[in-house]
Amino acid sequence: MSDAVTRRKRFYKAAEAAPSAGEGAAGGGWAVLLDGRGLRTPAKAPLVVPGRALAQLIADEWAAQETHIAPETMPATKLANVVIDRVVPHRAQIAAELAGYIGTDLVCYRADNPKELAALQARHWDPLVDWARTRYDIHLVTTTGLLAVDQPPATVERLTRAIEAADPWRLAVLHGAVTTAGSVVIGLALAEAGIDPATAYDAAFADEHFQIARWGEDAEQAERLALLRRDLDDLARIRDALNAG
């Protein structure tokens, strides 16, 4: 069955952002209207977001749809649905899941050989370790061994506190960044606009790019990396919209 058959047809003429009437978990925020009717999430909750910029980003996604609706081209809509239907009611569990990455953070586990890979990791990861140290007043233990290392209790506590302090919208952005990058440090730096998505991508996939430079890249790997890069770009765009208010 073709995508054109399985996808829902576009059923509206106009998409626009508008102040919310106050319904929903984020009452008093902004809604997205399709021909004057407010969007709802898959769980049928009103899709209401905290600021105009994010509502406009979502409206632009709907306006850009053509004959059929392609959900994979609507990352801001997807994130809003996830926040309202899943993050708001399960915020503590999601924060705890992200805190679990602290002990195995990518930037703390280094290669000692080959020397070129060690140098590449240091070039991408050392500035992030420095950023985290300055931003949160923490010390991150790095290792070149195979066994896991324990981070200092104060480091775990402060990073956990930073995760827990995020509101549901920024927690969703952080969740996407951490799970894509495999790193709380990279995730926090991207979510807090400490780095741009290109820097996050280069750091998160430094090892893969080293192997590609040595052995080449196949089509499947190239497609997967392109999708991951796009995910980080989308998260940064949503982050910027949240920050714009």
Amino acid type, 109: Y
Complete DSSP assignment for 80-126: HHHIIIIITTTHHHHHHHHHTTGGG-GGGB---SSHHHHHHHHHHHH
Domain boundaries, given as residue ranges, for the chain: 3-70, 91-244
pLDDT on residue 223: 96
In CATH, 91-244 is 3.90.79.10: no
pLDDT on residue 202: 98
pLDDT on residue 5: 44
pLDDT on residue 23: 52
Alpha carbons within 13 angstroms on the beta-carbon side of residue 206 total: 23
Instruction: Give the three-class secondary structure for 191.
Output: helix
pLDDT on residue 47: 97
pLDDT on residue 145: 81
Please state the CATH superfamily assignment of the domain spanning residues 3-70 in this structure: ATP12-like (3.30.2180.10)
Alpha helices, H only, the chain: 3-6, 52-63, 75-82, 91-99, 115-136, 153-164, 168-181, 184-191, 197-204, 206-215, 219-244
Q: What is the pLDDT of residues 56-114, one digit of tens each?
A: 999 999 999 999 999 999 999 999 999 999 999 999 999 999 999 999 999 999 999 99
pLDDT on residue 195: 98
Residue 2 has pLDDT above 80, yes or no: no
Q: What is the pLDDT of residues 195-227, one digit of tens each?
A: 999 999 999 999 999 999 999 999 999 999 999
Instruction: Give the three-class secondary structure for 57.
Output: helix
Mean pLDDT over 11-17 rounds to: 97
Residue 27 has pLDDT above 80, yes or no: no
| 198: nearest Cα among 236, 165, 152 | 236
